[in-house]
Amino acid sequence: MGMNNLLRGRDMVYTNRESSTHNVLSFGEGASREFTDRVAVEEPVEIRILYPEKGEDSYLAVTTLMRTPGDDFELAAGFLYTEGIVDSYDSIA
């Protein structure tokens, strides 16, 4: 696409919440029990590319993916590469 500065790490929002804890009440075999369970968190991340237009920065939303938070930059870079939007890691800032 010939676009530069496809990603900027400083523009990305990072969360460290990969899992959350929930209290569970389980029923079975004539008995119940309470326990705490850890569940993976799944949140959307929108991948956008940045390009100059008329001297100003413009963004184009490419896709929204569901993922467990963490390593978002690497996920976006891999997505852009495998979809053929960029042809090398050097195209990503």
- Per-residue pLDDT of 31-75, as tens digits, reads 999 999 988 889 999 999 988 888 889 999 999 999 998 889 999
Distant-in-sequence, close-in-space partners of 6: CB < 8 Å, separation ≥ 6 = 49, 50, 80, 85, 86, 91, 92, 93
pTM of the model as a whole: 0.63
Q: Could you list the residue range(s) of the whole structural domain that residue 70 is in?
A: 9-91
Residue 4: inside a domain, yes or no? no
Asked if the structure places residue 27 within a domain, the reply is yes
Question: How far is Cα 6 from Cα 63, in angstroms, rounded to an integer?
Answer: 14
pLDDT, tens digit, for every residue of 2-41? 333 344 444 544 455 788 888 999 999 999 999 999 888 8
